[in-house]
């Protein structure tokens, strides 16, 4: 395949409900979408998972736009590739910026799968047709609002509940949730809001039988996570700190975590996500698919990735309607009453992109072609 053109756009998509983490609140997403065209005008779609500010990691919507325009798109247009797994290496000269790279790399996977006429999950080596779903529930205005939300998500069938925590919204909240829902699969995500000095707080959570504690300490740290893991029984799960399969290997060797959350954007696309999955599966460590408040395109890529054998825990991939009044794919992602998503079988990402809706939401657009 030859990459003839890349189309980059920014869409604005308001969330049905604000989403709050320890690093801030989001009301409206600014999402970059990438579409790659090959020599036969076959196309593939990818989504950049960078947020509205450099708060989860260094990347954000504007930095991803700039690095794609100035460096990544020029590196890719005109290039040929045999396998989409080779695309990441074509962008090797640019360091980091994995979310921007992943938008392009995942678009090439969609393109390649569509050209071959196979569903993306199959091309990735997936083994399951139905994936298990959990939800990530942000910090709320009141504890009662949180309890009500958990109740309605459980009623919808979701298999596990993740709540966001931050200093001031942690142990007492977990205690209330546990008291009300003694038997559910429950976990917390701190998004790097604590330091090793907070180890006693995490030890106090051991009695709540949490599935895991996600990214309690610094986003760029492994050493202190290893120290914390030695002091708590609850498994530590790393999110922000795992940017590659090499990072995953080192985290296990250090004892910094016992579970990994894989996000396509954070690791740079499907090929690196496959390597993370392999690294963990070889060691018998479970992984699960995280989320970044994606539109339907990113959601569809997450569903395909979640079919790999190592994804043995429910992920954060949930129904479109939890985020969007109307998604940009058809049909929207829906969840069965037992909290699963049925993996689509159409070629590529398996969902149709509603181009009229994408056009209507687009606030800027740029095309890159080989000169
Ligand atoms: O840490 O997993 C996270 C959203 C934005 C940034 C970071 C995270 C999240 C979520 C939401 O937890 C997951 C989702 O429902 O998309
Ligand atoms: Mg997280």
Residue with tokens 């005109």: 78
Neighbours of ion ligand 2 (CB under 5 A): 189, 214, 239
Residue with tokens 């479109």: 320
Rounded distance between C-alpha atoms, residue 192 and residue 194, angstroms: 6
Rounded distance between C-alpha atoms, residue 259 and residue 280, angstroms: 9
Which residues of the chain have a pLDDT value below 50? none
Pocket test for ligand 1, best of 190, 236, 291 (most atoms within 8 A of CB): 291
Pocket test for ligand 1, best of 22, 49, 136 (most atoms within 8 A of CB): 136
**Distance in Å, CA 230 to ligand 2 centroid:** 21
CATH fold of 122-342 reads TIM Barrel (3.20.20)
For ligand 1, atom 13, the nearest C-alpha belongs to 291
Rounded distance between C-alpha atoms, residue 98 and residue 268, angstroms: 4
* pLDDT at res. 370: 83
| CATH superfamily assigned to domain 3-117+354-369 | Enolase-like, N-terminal domain (3.30.390.10)
Of 3, 7, 22, nearest to 239 (Cα)?
A: 22
Of 73, 96, 76, nearest to 84 (Cα)?
A: 76
Ligand 1 proximity of 56 Cβ (cutoff 6 Å): yes
Contact 325, 12 (CB under 8 A): no
For ligand 1, atom 4, the nearest C-alpha belongs to 292
Asked whether the domain spanning 122-342 has the same topology as the one spanning 3-117+354-369, the reply is no
Ligand 1 proximity of 237 Cβ (cutoff 6 Å): no
- Give bridge partners of residue 353 from the DSSP assignment: 329
**Distance in Å, CA 181 to ligand 2 centroid:** 22
Q: Write the DSSP symbol of residue 2.
A: B
* Helix, strand, coil % over all residues of the chain, rounded to 5: 35, 25, 35
Provide the pairing of β-strand 236-238 with 160-164: unpaired
pTM recorded for the entire structure: 0.98
Ligand 1 proximity of 191 Cβ (cutoff 6 Å): yes
User: Taking the chain, what is the end-to-end CA distance rounded to the nearest angstrom?
Assistant: 17
In the chain, domain spans: 3-117+354-369, 122-342
* pLDDT at res. 316: 98
């Amino acid at each position: 395949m030859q990459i003839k053109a890349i189309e980059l756009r920014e869409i604005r998509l308001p969330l049905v409900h604000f989403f709050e983490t320890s690093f801030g609140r989001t009301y409206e997403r600014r999402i970059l979408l990438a579409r790659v065209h090959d020599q036969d005008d076959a196309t593939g779609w990818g989504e950049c998972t960078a947020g509205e500010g450099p708060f989860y990691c260094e990347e954000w919507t504007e930095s991803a736009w700039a690095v794609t325009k100035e460096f990544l798109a020029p590196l890719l247009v005109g290039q040929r590739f045999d396998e989409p797994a080779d695309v990441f290496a074509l962008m090797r000269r640019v360091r980091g910026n994995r979310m921007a790279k992943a938008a392009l790399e995942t678009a090439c996977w969609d393109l390649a799968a569509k050209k071959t006429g196979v569903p993306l999950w199959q091309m990735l080596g997936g083994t399951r047709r139905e994936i298990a779903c959990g939800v990530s529930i942000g910090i709320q205005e009141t504890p009662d609002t949180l309890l009500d939300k958990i109740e309605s998500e459980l009623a919808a069938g979701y298999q596990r509940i993740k709540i966001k925590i931050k200093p001031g919204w942690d142990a007492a909240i977990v205690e209330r949730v546990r008291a009300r829902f003694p038997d559910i699969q429950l976990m917390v995500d701190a998004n790097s809001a604590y330091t090793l000095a907070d180890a006693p707080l995490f030890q106090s959570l051991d009695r709540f039988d949490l599935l895991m504690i996600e990214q309690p300490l610094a986003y760029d740290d492994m050493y202190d996570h290893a120290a914390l893991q030695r002091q708590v029984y609850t498994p530590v799960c790393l999110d922000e700190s795992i940017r590659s399969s090499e990072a995953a290997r080192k985290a296990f060797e250090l004892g910094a975590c016992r579970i990994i959350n894989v996000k396509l954007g954070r690791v740079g696309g499907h090929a690196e996500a496959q390597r993370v999955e392999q690294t963990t599966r070889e060691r018998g460590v479970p992984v699960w698919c995280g989320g970044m408040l994606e539109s339907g395109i990113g959601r569809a890529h997450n569903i395909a990735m979640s079919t790999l054998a190592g994804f043995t825990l429910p992920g954060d991939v949930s129904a479109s309607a939890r985020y969007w009044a109307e998604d940009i794919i058809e049909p929207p992602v829906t969840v069965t009453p037992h909290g699963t998503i049925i993996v689509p079988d159409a070629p590529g990402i398996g969902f149709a992109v509603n181009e009229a809706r994408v056009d209507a939401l687009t606030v800027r657009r740029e095309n890159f072609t080989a000169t």
